[in-house]
Structure 1
Amino acid sequence: MTGGAGAGADAFGGRRTASAPGVLYVRFHAGAEMYDRLLGLLHEITPVVQALPPDAALADVRGALRYFGRDAAGLAALVRVRALARYGADCTIGVGANPLLARLAVYDGGLPDGPQGRPPGAVRTAPEDLGAIPAAALPGVGPATARQLAPYGLDTVGRIAATPLGTLQRILGAAAGRRVHDQARGIDPAPVTPNAPARAMAGDRRFGRDELDPVRHRRALLSLTHELGARLRAEGQVARSLTLTVRYADRSTTTRTRMLPEPTGHTVALTDTAYRLYASLGLQRARVRGVSLRAEGLTAAGLAARQLTFDPGDDKARRIEAAADRARARFGPGAVRPATLPGTAA
């Protein structure tokens, strides 16, 4: 997307959304292990940075424009150059007058990476006309909400913006209807809230193509829970919660978090929680581009209480897990893998 969202830009000739662009939405194209270092690049520009794990962040750069002598798009280009030069990681950065418009600037219609699709990284300013963007691109419109709107022909941002508030509230409810109504007009009063990423450990899996098969989705989750479990145990840590992020073909995402029954690094418990999170989304035949898991609320394993159990199966699973950890430590991380994962000998 190109074009400017100049001072006081108004997408539909009505209410003015904001002043000059000053918010960046940054999506890093790198592994989760690089996230904290890439986030540090934004802190070099402005202290007003909101981490959005596992691969994105918001930054309000309005206070840094005069210091650097650049506009917001210029600062976005600077962040991208530094990410490439220091870490070899590209990023896509949206520039807008508020967090919503900055997010919409990076919407690409689900085009694939590569020379015939979208560029793998770029700086994009918010479009002046949001009308043709699909409704699912709005942060407040997930797959379930999009299905509610579709029977009424409300499949684009422009059509939603032209719909009376009362009609949307009858379809979606009072609060959700007003939120979607405002978002379709480019209105987002929420500020960028500075925070620090919670002490966490993350991993992600990206499919080579848009994947519809739930079995492959679950295999990716199984691979991630085995990876996270092994890393947690190797570092002597346990997690208190697990966050699942699913990225769809249209570049929208859904994120869900669930507390673990007890702080743990036990792979079986992580896998069970990950599967429950996935089932709660009700994706059915969704076109999924990638999944990521984030183990959060990390603490030292020695400080965490463990519920005793008389289940011999659980005790056996933990002994097998410990033996597998010893094998990985001696022969490498690929020495022991779940039999259901690709590349494992039958």
Structure 2
Amino acid sequence: MILCIRFRLGAEREALLPELARLAEDVSPVVQAVPPDTLLVDVRGALRYFGQDAERLASVLRVRALAHTGTACAIGVAANPLLARMAARQAESGTTLLVPDTPEAVAGFLHPRPVVALPGVGPGTARTLCAYGLDTVGRLAAAPLGTLQRLTTARTGRELYEKARGIDRTPVVRNAAAQSLAAERVFGRDELDRGTQRRALLSLTTELGLRMRGTDQVTRGLALTVRYADRSTTTRSRTLPEPTAHTAALTSAAYALHDALALQRARVRAVALRAEGLAPAGRAAHQLTFDPTDDKLRRLEAAADRARARFGPGAVLPGTLAA
């Protein structure tokens, strides 16, 4: 059985994830950290070792996390990571949601849910499926494989076919919590305006760039998570051409991720940006350029950082955000 543990970590507390992973390793050595706030724990060996069921082990981990770090969590328990993730998303904070490992229980859990509830199904794919009446996981599961492949692609159709049946062959891979930084912007109402969303992204890249430069770190990649009005999410990531903490480069990558989602009229509740694979800035190579604009931007950025260090983070802002 697999436990998916989703902690209530804000951007300022995500540094707790490695400590929470170590607590989970006291129960099972097979722990995979999924930044910024999730752990996957394979407890199949622990069930035999402790002579307890998965729900009892989940309760132990919840109490330990609360006692050691004051962090609440929701836990999903299922036979594979796909189902465990979906169960954790449905579980209330402080509770455990179990999906029994039987075909009937899996179908009962999956089939009533909208197709966007399946991990990896974004608004674009959902619109395509819904246009053909495949608006629930149950209807998706009843569709022939060939039909799904014709509606999407061969690979996507196969993935949808298996996910709708609760099939996930992805193993839980033991790792250390990847070092990352994250920030989030929650809109006061469901936001449809693309310009407003991009201003939020600019504020995120400005914040992350400042935080990384303040600790002499650079990032190798960015991950954008968009949360919609129905609480579903879409996450896309991109590896940067070179490790950087330069706000202009981060903003360009964030805008490209946002454009690739083709949100159009999607009702967006929040956007979050995560800088992944952090490394010391001194070890990162920088591609030299003859472009004087890039050099000028970096010198202006350094001057702005000095002003922020002296007068506060809001002392210097991009014109778009100051308006």
Range into which the TM-score falls when normalised by the shorter chain: 0.7 to 0.9
Q: 1:210 aligns to what SS in structure 2?
A: strand
Distance apart, 1:120 and its partner CA: 4.1
Bigger mean CA offset, 63-72 vs 157-166: 63-72
Given that 1:48 and 1:61 are in contact with CA atoms closer than 8 Å, whether structure 2 keeps it comes out as yes
Q: Deviations over 1:144-182 (max 9, x none)?
A: 221221122111111112222332233233332232222
Relative to 1, partners in 2 of residues 1:259 and 1:187: Cα closer, same or farther, differing over 3 Å?
Answer: closer
Q: How many residues of Structure 1 are paired with residues of Structure 2 in the alignment?
A: 313
Question: Under a length normalisation based on structure 2, what TM-score does the superposition of the two structures give?
Answer: 0.87
Query: What is the match of residue 170 of structure 2?
Result: 190
Distance, in Å, in 1 between the alignment partners of 2:200 and 2:52 is 42
Distance, in Å, in 2 between the alignment partners of 1:43 and 1:193 is 13
The reply to whether residue 214 of structure 1 matches residue 194 of structure 2 is: yes
Relative to 1, partners in 2 of residues 1:175 and 1:321: Cα closer, same or farther, differing over 3 Å?
Answer: closer
Q: Deviations over 1:109-145 (max 9, x none)?
A: xxxxxxxxx8444211127202211111112422222
Given that 2:218 and 2:280 are in contact with CA atoms closer than 8 Å, whether structure 1 keeps it comes out as yes
Distance, in Å, in 2 between the alignment partners of 1:255 and 1:88 is 28
Distance, in Å, in 2 between the alignment partners of 1:235 and 1:172 is 44
Distance, in Å, in 1 between the alignment partners of 2:289 and 2:272 is 30
Q: 1:244 aligns to what SS in structure 2?
A: strand
Query: Could you say what the CA RMSD is over the residues aligned between the two structures, in angstroms?
Result: 2.4
Q: 1:192 aligns to what SS in structure 2?
A: coil
Match runs of 1:300-315 below 5 Å: 300-315=280-295
Given that 2:17 and 2:177 are in contact with CA atoms closer than 8 Å, whether structure 1 keeps it comes out as no
The reply to whether residue 27 of structure 1 matches residue 6 of structure 2 is: yes
Gaps of 5+ in 1: 1-21, 109-117
Query: What is the match of residue 95 of structure 2?
Result: 122
The one-letter amino acid paired with 2:273 is L
Question: Under a length normalisation based on structure 1, what TM-score does the superposition of the two structures give?
Answer: 0.81
The one-letter amino acid paired with 1:159 is R
Query: What is the match of residue 11 of structure 1?
Result: none
Distance, in Å, in 2 between the alignment partners of 1:287 and 1:86 is 38
Given that 1:226 and 1:267 are in contact with CA atoms closer than 8 Å, whether structure 2 keeps it comes out as yes
- The counterpart of 1:84, out of the listed 66, 76, 81, is 66
The reply to whether residue 247 of structure 1 matches residue 220 of structure 2 is: no
Given that 2:219 and 2:245 are in contact with CA atoms closer than 8 Å, whether structure 1 keeps it comes out as yes
Distance apart, 1:323 and its partner CA: 2.0
Distance, in Å, in 2 between the alignment partners of 1:249 and 1:47 is 37
The one-letter amino acid paired with 1:92 is A
Query: What is the match of residue 41 of structure 1?
Result: 23
Q: 2:218 aligns to what SS in structure 1?
A: strand
The reply to whether residue 155 of structure 1 matches residue 128 of structure 2 is: no
The one-letter amino acid paired with 1:79 is L
Distance, in Å, in 2 between the alignment partners of 1:85 and 1:210 is 36
Distance, in Å, in 1 between the alignment partners of 2:267 and 2:52 is 39
Relative to 1, partners in 2 of residues 1:52 and 1:152: Cα closer, same or farther, differing over 3 Å?
Answer: same
The one-letter amino acid paired with 1:245 is T
- The counterpart of 1:338, out of the listed 299, 318, 321, is 318
Distance apart, 1:221 and its partner CA: 1.4
Distance apart, 1:106 and its partner CA: 3.2
Q: 2:300 aligns to what SS in structure 1?
A: helix
The one-letter amino acid paired with 1:122 is T
The reply to whether residue 134 of structure 1 matches residue 149 of structure 2 is: no
The reply to whether residue 54 of structure 1 matches residue 36 of structure 2 is: yes
Distance apart, 1:75 and its partner CA: 1.8
Given that 1:104 and 1:126 are in contact with CA atoms closer than 8 Å, whether structure 2 keeps it comes out as no
Q: Deviations over 1:192-242 (max 9, x none)?
A: 222233333332333344333322322221121111111211111222222
Query: What is the match of residue 93 of structure 1?
Result: 75
Distance apart, 1:186 and its partner CA: 1.7
Q: 2:313 aligns to what SS in structure 1?
A: coil
Distance, in Å, in 1 between the alignment partners of 2:188 and 2:92 is 17
Distance, in Å, in 2 between the alignment partners of 1:301 and 1:291 is 27
Distance apart, 1:257 and its partner CA: 2.2
Bigger mean CA offset, 87-96 vs 251-260: 251-260
Distance, in Å, in 2 between the alignment partners of 1:297 and 1:100 is 24
Distance, in Å, in 2 between the alignment partners of 1:40 and 1:278 is 34
Query: What is the match of residue 9 of structure 1?
Result: none
